[in-house]
Amino acid sequence: MSYYKNLTDSDKVSDVAIVTSGVFQNGASSITTFHTSSTQYTNTGDYNIDLYRYAPGTNASASVQFGVVFGDRDGSGSLGGVGVSGDRPTAAIFGQFNNFINPPETTTFTFGDKSSKDFYAVVFNRARIRENLEAGGWELHLKNGASGPVVKLIDDSSTNKGGNTGQRNFAPEYNIVSGTLIGGTTIDTAAASEGATGTYGKFYPSIGVLVLNPERLADPSELNLVTASGSNNDDRNNELFYNVLKTGAYFQAKREEQITSRHFFVRATANEFNATTNETFYTESVAGVKRIINGLASDPKTYITSVGMYNADNELLAVAKLSQPILKSKSREALIKVKLDF
């Protein structure tokens, strides 16, 4: 009676594929409404604002989609300072992102030829983007007020092959430019993407972060988002950015991950796996010894319902379930392909 079978290298095949999917809740690739949590805003809103697809106060399944932050090297736009109580949240945010993204001893963010001591950022957590936020797969709309123009932003990965050159902690790095996923962009160099106030920003797909240039967003001919920069003031610039994002009412984004698939071809030949431990296969003799039911001894028939995958120490690692049982007998062979994704 055969219950186990060793697989050889010829029975195994591996392949790798890049899989993309919507990054938002329920696998959605775009959302048009944005909500915040009053509890989170009260407790940590001076640092960041978490955005939801569904209202967390009325929908128990609502989960954080991404966050928006504002950072300033000098702590402008937040409470605190020398001899003044307060945590200077914007300075803390600047320091965190500066250390995380920029090379050592950097004190500003660079947008084209412009250096900036402040920035806005859209931040996805790792669990949501998995491996990457797809380059060339996102589009963000911003709008300041009911009558303002809609600024549509994408990255320049379609023309800036390989991303920007230069030292950075995370590669690739792409420019954020004006455009749509349908129309694309004609921008093909960092210099060409600049206005008088620098580029719109930088995009880092491997960490799911969009860093935006406040000076460019303040352009009166475009978004006209004026950043408050008071000293020891709770200006909540992250809320200003949230409002233009909410009014823009459109964010499309996809994530991507590398999936390795291992295919195992399990062959049950004519003389294999023709017995089972299923009680219905046996009858019990007077002596208490199990015997195969008459008719099955000479022509046994079994049904394969699952395949167990074991290691060399006979430890069960995985179980593959068949969608329907497969009849197996001495006159029938079976070939089952087991696929493991990881």
Task: Output the DSSP codes for 83-98.
Answer: TB-S--HHHHHHHHHH
pLDDT at 82: 61
Tell which wins on pLDDT, 38 or 278: 38
Mean pLDDT of 123-144: 95
Q: Which two tokens stand for residue 119?
A: 């920035």
Task: Assess contact for 301 and 328: CB atoms under 8 A.
Answer: yes
Task: Assess contact for 54 and 200: CB atoms under 8 A.
Answer: no
Mean pLDDT of 154-183: 87
Judged by DSSP in three states, 113 sits in coil
Residue 145 clears pLDDT 80, i.e. is over it: yes
Phi then psi for residue 214, to 5 deg, are -60, -35
Instruction: Name the pLDDT band for 4 (thresholds 50, 70, 90).
Output: confident
pLDDT at 280: 67
Instruction: Name the pLDDT band for 186 (thresholds 50, 70, 90).
Output: low
- Kindly report, residue by residue over 236-274, the tens digit of the pLDDT: 899 999 999 999 999 999 999 988 899 999 998 988 887
Cα dihedral 168, 170, 173, 178 sign: negative
Tell me, what amino acid is at 112? G
- Kindly report, residue by residue over 22-72, the tens digit of the pLDDT: 999 999 999 999 999 988 877 777 899 999 999 999 999 999 999 999 999
Task: Assess contact for 218 and 151: CB atoms under 8 A.
Answer: no
d(CA 327, CA 127): 42
pLDDT at 190: 55
Tell which wins on pLDDT, 288 or 335: 335
Closest CA to 284 of 295, 274, 292: 292
DSSP string for residues in 39-71: HHHHHHTTTEEEEESS-TTT-TT--EEEEEEEE
d(CA 151, CA 180): 10
Task: Assess contact for 249 and 319: CB atoms under 8 A.
Answer: no
- Kindly report, residue by residue over 65-93, the tens digit of the pLDDT: 999 999 999 999 888 876 566 678 999 99
pLDDT at 65: 97
Instruction: Name the pLDDT band for 102 (thresholds 50, 70, 90).
Output: very high
Phi then psi for residue 51, to 5 deg, are -115, 140
Task: Assess contact for 231 and 76: CB atoms under 8 A.
Answer: yes
Q: Which range among 51-65, 136-150, 276-290 shows the weakest confidence by mean pLDDT?
A: 276-290
Q: Looking up tokens 């020891």, which residue turns up?
A: 232
- Kindly report, residue by residue over 12-25, the tens digit of the pLDDT: 999 888 899 999 99
Tell which wins on pLDDT, 284 or 34: 34
Residue 2 clears pLDDT 60, i.e. is over it: no
pLDDT at 92: 93
pLDDT at 276: 74
Non-local (6+) Cβ contacts of 321 within 8 A are 305, 306
Question: What's the full length of the chain, in residues?
Answer: 342
pLDDT at 39: 85
Residue 341 clears pLDDT 70, i.e. is over it: yes
d(CA 281, CA 301): 9
Judged by DSSP in three states, 13 sits in strand
- For residue 141, what is the DSSP state? E
Mean pLDDT of 129-147: 95
d(CA 71, CA 237): 9
What does pLDDT average to over the chain? Answer: 88
Tell which wins on pLDDT, 286 or 140: 140
Q: Which range among 8-12, 32-36, 118-122, 189-193 shows the weakest confidence by mean pLDDT?
A: 189-193
Q: Where are the domains of the chain?
A: 9-16+259-341, 24-252
Tell me, what amino acid is at 153? L
Q: What percent of the chain has pLDDT over 70?
A: 88
Instruction: Name the pLDDT band for 160 (thresholds 50, 70, 90).
Output: confident
